[in-house]
Amino acid sequence: MLIQQLVNGLTLGAVYTLIALSYSLVMGILGVLNLAIAELFMLGGYFGFAVVLAQLPLPLALIAGMAGAALVAAIIERIGYQPFRTAPVVTPMLSTLGFSIILQNIATNIWGSDPLQLTDEVFAERFDIGAVSISAIQLTVLGATIVLVALLAFLVQRTSIGRALRAVAENRDVARLLGVSAGRITLIAFMLSGSLAGAAGVLIGLHYAAITPYIGVEIGLKAIAVMVVGGTTRIWGALIAGPLMGVVEVMTVAYGGSQIRDFVVYGFMILILLLRPQGLLGGSRRNQDQRV
Amino acid sequence: MTSKSMSVLMAAGLMAAGATASGPAKAADAEIVLGAIVPSSGPFAEWGRTNTATLQMLEKQINDGGGINGAKLRILILDDATKPAQATNNLRKLAGDDHVLAVAGPLTSSAAEVTFPVANEMKVVSTSQASSKPGVAKLNRPWAFRNTIDEGVLGRTTVPYYKQAFGIKTVAIIFDAKDATAATVGGKIMPGLMKDNGIEVANANDPLSFNTGDLDVSAQVTKIKALNPDGVVVSADYSQAVTVIREMKRQGVIKPVVGSTQLISSAILKAAPEIPIVAPATFYASMSGDKPEKFVKELTPVLRKISGLPPEIEPSMYDANIYEIGSIYIEAIKKAGVTGKPEDLETDRTKIRDYMAKLAGFAGLGGPIGFNEDGDAIKAFYIVQGQNGAWQSKVRGCSAPDGKQGC
Amino acid sequence: MTMSMYYAGIFADVGILLLGALSVYIILSTGQLSLGNAGFMGIGAYLTSWLTVMVGLPLTPSLLIAAIVAGIIGVVVGFPALRLKGIYLAMATLGFGEMVRSFFLNFSAMGGPEGFHGMQHVSTGTIWIWAILVLVLVMVLETSQIWLEIRAVRDDETAAGLVGLNATSIKVGAFGFGAAVAAIAGGLFAHHHVYIEPGNFSFERSIDFVLAVILGGSTVAPGALAGAVILVVLPEYLRFLADWRFAAFGALLIGMLVVRRQGLLDRALLRLALPSSPA
């Protein structure tokens, strides 16, 4: 059973990693916690479901989820972030909270509060390797996480857009002096993080085959914890922290008891923070100053 | 948006709210006003919206039929947004400012726990259409009622049927730890019932639970799979139970499931049609009988016209319950000499309360209804089995205390 | 004239939220954002209820004891919090809040998920006496030496240290004081609703406190009052929007922040209203 639980933990961890990366993109570059990412994840799931339920091919579902979420992310950037560029970070965070509320309400009014379910599971074949059972969709989620993270790495490290993103993260004013259009870059950062969240929504939605307008809430909080444990200044921290937190959570349920799960998971997060206040891969302590 | 247009918007909003909040200043002085508290926004928005449609249908039916002793019926429905604090303020408003004769709702046990004391304080009847956590009305007599049956009572008929139908000797129990009703049923009531019926709880010293809103229960289901029980108790609201049952199907744990009234829905039938689900219900949409069939026939088209609800929606148990509550209030008003005049408000409310306390044999949708001294309903219930997309009634039970007829 | 029960209920909610918002404000004044004050509120609620119901103490000493105990826990939390900044601190406090909620969910001695009953109902007037007392206390503190030190620590910790201010005791003390105020909010909440369950003290509650402070004015104590009023009264006024109530609330929230990002009240506005208020 141990190996099976490890597989469960890694799958959960992949889920956390994808969403944590979305948070991390905006957090690392702009220092802002975009609380609406949980709802972009949720919307991605709904857009993906709409495509699948209309009997259209799966890649279209992924595109629909990513594009739809990116579009909404762009709206959030214009209205929820731009006016607050110079305000203390808690203000844009709360304005994204406002968007969270709006998006949950809209989703409830369009799709209802009951779970929307897929009649037939997608990629439902299971592979039994010894005592371990893993489904095709689970493998897809794991694989897609790796691919998306690799793509993101390539984008950030090797392309000019990535360079511009990193420049703005370092120092906005200097970046502008060097000809980087900060406004355009923040829009790109938001849309990129939105499309990542949307992709996560489609994949995870298809995996669990049932979504509600509120699936983003709990998972969003855990994903923020993952981002923090990984270190917000380095987006790869999420790659380590995601599987770590996923495995801790699953192992607690498997061997400690489900009742204490949240207690242990958040306790673990606090422990890591106390030992390494900037997160596992976080930069030097100097970098963590936020305007509160 | 400029601050000027903001202020205009707020002023307009305030004026509109003031107009709707100031209550009736209409010419018709013959009016009977009832109140209702439903969750029209938040995670249970669907229930609140179907409840609203059900009450509006009842209001129309009554008024089309000439009203109550000639007076027009008006049902004021307030949304509690699934927040208990708002439910209490709603009751205060309905009872104190709008002078309603009785209140239908609130829906959830969490809201009822804090709203029922206010009902007692303001001396107005409040009847919940869905709360089934044991003891909630009992603690708040005499003004609190529930048109539901205590889960402990229901379980006493559910579990023996489950055992006999599937030859159950061992079960694993998993419940939603964040939901008070689910946690009570899964943590206390079901273990006790299993013991009474000689069924071993395979995870007795290792309770399995999850939290409302969790997406992933793979760890818990893997443990259930390892225990290899004959059946699984899933104690959770159906929207969470769907998550568990789908995971069970994914991991190949195809065992019969048993639970409380919280499972009753059409959504759960879609989760894993091959897994049989046994639960108690006081109503389900495909019930046979003159009254339920007429109710479903009239309400279904109304529900399907509402935007934002799934196209295949059907009346739920909570819709049936709130329809019965409204109907009981109306009968109480007709038969107990309620005048509806403002100066008689206190005596009217007391008359309704006394009528309900003595109620027996009221023609509900599923059978006769009365209330016991705890304030919970004495009514017929049905142990239903859901499989391949439909509920089938297997056993008819009655929640009257042993030895007394009531259904 | 007796107040409508409905308004009395609304006022009670505002009073409790005011105390919660003040708890966040106090900690925020030292530059620390706490997203876990619902945890302190929960500790206060359960402890106060235990004292009045199981031990039989009257409300006032129960509230004070709970506040002191919560304050000590706040100080204990405040020390490790010194190592963290910004979002890391915020997340750690969030984690703390969730751990407290999880603890009470498992604490069957006081009901666990079934909740706890038995408290005596307390009037809106009592709630407001406490709320006003605490608000006045904070406002008085704001005129004192201590607040100048707090401001200094928030603005530049290094410089403050150089002029001999003990940033540690100020920051930790703020956590303790904030925790105590949140505990009082919790105790009054428990006795207003006469039933509590762990779900009452979730992240959503912590965020409500922060929202009230930011909307009402994060630089002055009466801002907490303005924010509490906005957060409780606005959803009631938006009822006419039925199914779109929440979306409208979210939109207005964003709108308010755009129009006036420092919150409704700030020092300039207060100076107009109260000429004797501090600079």
In this predicted structure, the answer to whether residue A291 has a pLDDT above a threshold of 60 is no
| Residue B66 contacts residue B334 (beta carbons within 8 Å) | no
Q: What is the pLDDT of residue B406?
A: 67
Cα C168 to Cα A137, C26, C30, C158, C173: the distances in Å are 51, 15, 10, 11, 8
What are the DSSP calls for C37-101, one per residue?
A: HHHHHHHHHHHHHIIIIII---HHHHHHHHHHHHHHHHHHHHHHHTT--HHHHHHHHHHHHHHHH
The answer to whether C207 contacts chain A (CB < 8 Å) is: yes
What residue ranges of chain B have pLDDT lower than 70?
1-29, 402-406
Instruction: Tell me the backbone φ, ψ of residue B243, rounded to 5 degrees.
Output: -60, -45
CA–CA gap between residue C27 and residue B376 (Å, rounded): 47
Run of H or E including B17: helix B3-21
The domain defined by A2-275 folds into ABC transporter involved in vitamin B12 uptake, BtuC (1.10.3470)
Q: Identify the chains in contact with B, defined as 3+ C-beta pairs within 8 A.
A: A, C
Cα B320 to Cα A15, A268, B52, C162: the distances in Å are 40, 47, 12, 71
CB atoms within 10 A of CB C55: 9
The answer to whether A3 contacts chain B (CB < 8 Å) is: no
CA distance B213 to chain A (A): 6
What number is the ipTM of this complex? 0.89
CA C89-C90-C92 angle, to 5 degrees, is 60
Dihedral sign, Cα of residue C60, residue C66, residue C68, residue C74: negative
Instruction: Tell me the backbone φ, ψ of residue B377, rounded to 5 degrees.
Output: -80, 140
Tokens found for residue A182: 């900060």
Q: Which residues of B touch A135 (CB under 8 A)?
A: 250
Residues 6 or more apart in contact with residue C6 via CB below 8 angstroms: B89, B92, B93, B96, B97
Measured torsion, CA atoms of residues C174, C179, C182, C188, in degrees rounded to the nearest 10 = -130
CA distance B314 to chain C (A): 20
Pick the closest to residue B265 from A207, A206, A115 (CA basis): A115
Residue in the block written with tokens 């889960």: B151
Model confidence pLDDT, tens digit, residues A197-239: 999 999 888 888 889 999 999 889 899 889 888 887 677 788 8
Q: What is the pLDDT of residue A288?
A: 42
Instruction: Assign A42 a pLDDT band (cuts: 50, 70, 90).
Output: very high
CA distance C80 to chain A (A): 7
CA–CA gap between residue C228 and residue C131 (Å, rounded): 12
Residue A6's identity, in one-letter code, is: L
**Cβ separation A288–C86 shorter than 8 A:** yes
Model confidence pLDDT, tens digit, residues A118-170: 877 777 777 888 778 888 888 888 888 888 888 888 888 888 888 887 777 77
| Residue A6 contacts residue A213 (beta carbons within 8 Å) | no
Q: What is the pLDDT of residue C276?
A: 55
Task: Verify cis geometry, omega within 30 degrees of 0, for the bond prior to B207.
Answer: no
**Cβ separation A289–C85 shorter than 8 A:** yes
Measured torsion, CA atoms of residues C133, C135, C141, C147, in degrees rounded to the nearest 10 = 160
Out of C86, C95, C218, the one facing A225 most closely (by C-beta) is: C95
Averaged pLDDT of chain A: 85
| Residue B229 contacts residue A267 (beta carbons within 8 Å) | no
Model confidence pLDDT, tens digit, residues C95-116: 999 999 999 988 989 988 889 9
CA–CA gap between residue B265 and residue B286 (Å, rounded): 11
CA–CA gap between residue B122 and residue B110 (Å, rounded): 19
Q: What is the CA radius of gyration of chain B?
A: 22
CA distance B297 to chain C (A): 26
Run of H or E including A267: helix A261-275
- Residue B393: strand pairing partners: B384
Q: Which residues of B touch C117 (CB under 8 A)?
A: 113, 139
Q: Which residues of B touch C245 (CB under 8 A)?
A: 41, 79, 81
- Residue B404: strand pairing partners: none
Helix axes A37-53, A58-76, angle to 10 degrees: 150
| Residue B308 contacts residue A107 (beta carbons within 8 Å) | no
Instruction: List helix spans (H) across B105-237.
Output: 109-122, 151-166, 180-184, 190-196, 218-227
Q: What is the pLDDT of residue A286?
A: 44
In three-state secondary structure terms, A117 is strand
The residue ranges of every structural domain in chain C are 7-203
What are the DSSP calls for B126-141, one per residue?
A: EEESS--STTTTGGGT
CB atoms within 10 A of CB A28: 25
The answer to whether C76 contacts chain B (CB < 8 Å) is: no
Q: Which is it for strands B102-104 and B125-128: parallel, antiparallel or unpaired? A: parallel
pLDDT over 70 for what percent of chain A? 94
The residue ranges of every structural domain in chain A are 2-275
Chain B residue closest to C9 (CA)? B89
Q: What is the pLDDT of residue A87?
A: 79
C272 vs A52, residue with greater confidence: A52
**Cβ separation B243–A133 shorter than 8 A:** no
Model confidence pLDDT, tens digit, residues C23-57: 999 999 888 899 999 999 999 999 999 999 999 99
The answer to whether A224 contacts chain C (CB < 8 Å) is: yes
The answer to whether C156 contacts chain A (CB < 8 Å) is: no
| Residue B373 contacts residue B260 (beta carbons within 8 Å) | no
Q: Which is it for strands C195-196 and C116-117: parallel, antiparallel or unpaired? A: antiparallel
**Cβ separation C4–B97 shorter than 8 A:** yes
CA distance C236 to chain B (A): 9
CA B206-B207-B209 angle, to 5 degrees, is 135
Strand ranges, E, within A152-284 = 210-211
CA distance C120 to chain B (A): 11
**Cβ separation C214–A101 shorter than 8 A:** no
pTM equals 0.89
The answer to whether B177 contacts chain C (CB < 8 Å) is: yes
CA–CA gap between residue B119 and residue B126 (Å, rounded): 6
The answer to whether A113 contacts chain C (CB < 8 Å) is: no
Strand ranges, E, within B257-367 = 257-258, 277-281, 362-363
Which residue of C243, C245, C246 to mutate against B (max B Cβ within 10 Å)? C243
In three-state secondary structure terms, C23 is helix
In this predicted structure, the answer to whether residue C242 has a pLDDT above a threshold of 90 is no
Instruction: Assign A172 a pLDDT band (cuts: 50, 70, 90).
Output: low
CA–CA gap between residue A86 and residue A94 (Å, rounded): 14
- Give the number of A-B residue pairs with CB atoms closer than 8 Å: 110
Q: What is the pLDDT of residue C37?
A: 96
CA–CA gap between residue A99 and residue A105 (Å, rounded): 10
Out of C88, C92, C257, the one facing A288 most closely (by C-beta) is: C88
Model confidence pLDDT, tens digit, residues C176-195: 999 999 999 999 999 999 99
CA distance C228 to chain B (A): 14
CA–CA gap between residue B279 and residue B281 (Å, rounded): 7
CA–CA gap between residue A43 and residue A202 (Å, rounded): 9
Q: What is the pLDDT of residue C274?
A: 66
CA B255-B258-B263 angle, to 5 degrees, is 120
CB atoms within 10 A of CB A31: 18
- Give me the residues of C, 103-142, that contact B with CB < 8 A: 105, 112-115, 117, 121
**Cβ separation A258–B215 shorter than 8 A:** no
Instruction: List helix spans (H) across chain C.
Output: 5-28, 37-49, 59-81, 86-106, 124-142, 145-155, 157-162, 167-193, 203-216, 222-237, 245-259, 267-273
The answer to whether C254 contacts chain B (CB < 8 Å) is: no
Q: Which residues of A touch C257 (CB under 8 A)?
A: 83-84, 91, 94-95, 98
What are the DSSP calls for B313-329, one per residue?
A: ----HHHHHHHHHHHHH
Q: Which residues of A touch C218 (CB under 8 A)?
A: 88, 90
Which residue of C49, C98, C127, C194 to mutate against B (max B Cβ within 10 Å)? C194
CA distance B341 to chain C (A): 20
Chain C residue closest to B119 (CA)? C5
Tokens found for residue A145: 């996480």
CA–CA gap between residue C228 and residue C219 (Å, rounded): 15
Cα C85 to Cα A172, B167, C71, C157, C158: the distances in Å are 21, 59, 21, 12, 14
Residues 6 or more apart in contact with residue C45 via CB below 8 angstroms: C183, C186, C187, C189, C190, C196, C200, C201
The answer to whether C96 contacts chain A (CB < 8 Å) is: yes
The answer to whether B307 contacts chain A (CB < 8 Å) is: yes
**Cβ separation A210–B243 shorter than 8 A:** yes
In this predicted structure, the answer to whether residue C278 has a pLDDT above a threshold of 70 is no
Chain A residue closest to C259 (CA)? A83
